[in-house]
Amino acid sequence: MTIIDKTADVPAPRGSDDASGPLLEVRDLHVEFHTRDGVAKAVNGVNYSVSAGETLAVLGESGSGKSVTAQAIMGILDMPPGRIPNGEIFFRGQDMLKMSGEERRQIRGRKIAMIFQDALSSLNPVLSVGYQLAEMFRVHQGLSKKEAKAKAIALMDRVRIPAAKERVNDYPHMFSGGMRQRIMIAMALALEPDLIIADEPTTALDVTVQAQVMDLLAELQRDFNMGLILITHDLGVVADVADKIAVMYAGRIVETAPVHEIYSRPAHPYTKGLLASIPRLDQKGQELYAIKGLPPNLLHVPSGCAFNPRCTMAQDICRTEIPALRPVTEQDGTELVGRGSACHFWKETIHG
Ligand SMILES: Nc1ncnc2c1ncn2[C@@H]1O[C@H](COP(=O)(O)OP(=O)(O)O)[C@@H](O)[C@H]1O
Ligand code: SF4
Ligand SMILES: [Mg+2]
């Protein structure tokens, strides 16, 4: 059986260092893990970009390569076993993969900051939150103890931690999950980065708290005109905050679209399945749809379209030929800006 991979010839604009170009541009990124059981190809030719003031949501089930892509951008990938055999990651037009360790460190935290799902394991349990925030200002901006503490309190206020002044000496475990996540956001904001990568920032929280934290993140992103990459497995949380979406499956982007269009007109069966599995208030009591099966083990990715064993639309070609991410058009051929689908049957999916 011949497996044809046409995904490599997807056109993408180059990174740019002028102010109007994207802040960050990932180009044909590949990441693999060399394990005892074989090579897991976790990221297979990912392209995406984010501009200042823009929010990109990266969506997909667990194991699709979302976090690994983020780790490659941050320069915090486990290497080994991880390896980047190919790709470019432009930040303001400069390929970070070609930078020295010191140059990367200058960007990490100051220019690009990251927020993780689990604040408890990211914050130091034996230091007060005020100390940890103040430390950022002391180390990176050379502020005095007193100045740094004042800035820490101001920042806790900014992320709306009630009674920040009284709570500045409290330890992480003394805060609720939602409040801890606000502290993580404050830590990420401290040095006023250009770009924040939030990896499942609300996944561990209750639904109502989730919405509050997401709203706060969106508000700060607007106020500071930052770029934001919001990684999530939950299509339900991105509607109000993201500008555009990249859907990932088995290490590839399978659909890209401006956010409002993905809800009304998905062009990939996987996205369609994800949309159908969002709980809806008007369907209370009805059984929730779930895409059958599980995402593949990356050591044994199905041939052709990796989604084919789970896809209700799969045909023979789906088992032999990897579909490239192609532009999605209207029925009359008019291009839909920012839209792409990696499905042999995208036309049937969106127009059918
Ligand atoms: N440290 C590692 N060692 C080996 N394989 C890894 C490692 N980290 C990630 N992987 C592989 O990469 C895949 C994608 O991981 P990840 O990007 O974390 O998925 P997600 O989309 O859930 O964030 C995993 O399913 C696993 O196969
Ligand atoms: S290429 Fe085939 S298997 Fe893959 S999503 Fe499209 S129809 Fe389904
Ligand atoms: Mg992840």
Which pLDDT does position 119 carry in this prediction?
Answer: 75
DSSP letter string, 41-93: EEEEEEEEEE-TT-EEEEE-STTSSHHHHHHHHHT---TTTEEEEEEEEEETT
Say if residues 255 and 59 touch (Cβ distance below 8 Å).
no
Which pLDDT does position 14 carry in this prediction?
Answer: 42
How does pLDDT run across 33-50, given as a tens digit for each residue? 999 999 999 999 999 999
How does pLDDT run across 226-277, given as a tens digit for each residue? 999 999 988 888 888 999 999 999 999 999 999 999 999 999 999 999 998 8
- Indicate if ligand 1 lies below 6 Å from the C-beta of 310: no
Residue ranges of the chain whose pLDDT lies below 70:
1-20, 280-286
Cα separation, 107 vs 45, in Å, equals 24
Q: Tell me how far the alpha carbon of residue 67 lies from the centroid of ligand 3, in angstroms.
A: 4
Which pLDDT does position 16 carry in this prediction?
Answer: 42
Which pLDDT does position 332 carry in this prediction?
Answer: 94
Which pLDDT does position 281 carry in this prediction?
Answer: 61
Backbone angles phi, psi at 29, to 5 degrees: -80, 130
Residue having the nearest C-alpha atom to atom 9 of ligand 1: 68
- Ligand 2 nearest atom to the CA of residue 317, by list position: 2
Which pLDDT does position 3 carry in this prediction?
Answer: 46
pTM, entire model: 0.91
Say if residues 340 and 12 touch (Cβ distance below 8 Å).
no
User: What's the DSSP call for residue 108?
Assistant: B
User: What's the DSSP call for residue 197?
Assistant: E
Which secondary-structure segment (H or E) carries 133? helix 129-141
Token pair of 140 as six digits: 């990176």
Cα separation, 175 vs 9, in Å, equals 49
Cα separation, 252 vs 30, in Å, equals 9
Residue having the nearest C-alpha atom to atom 1 of ligand 2: 343
User: CA torsion, points 283, 255, 65, 27, in degrees to nearest 10?
Assistant: -160
b/e string for 31-61 if b means 16 or more Cβ within 10 A? bbbeeeeeebbbbbbbbbbbbbebbbbbbbb
Q: What angle do CA 3, 58, 230 make, to 5 degrees?
A: 160
- Indicate if ligand 1 lies below 6 Å from the C-beta of 63: yes
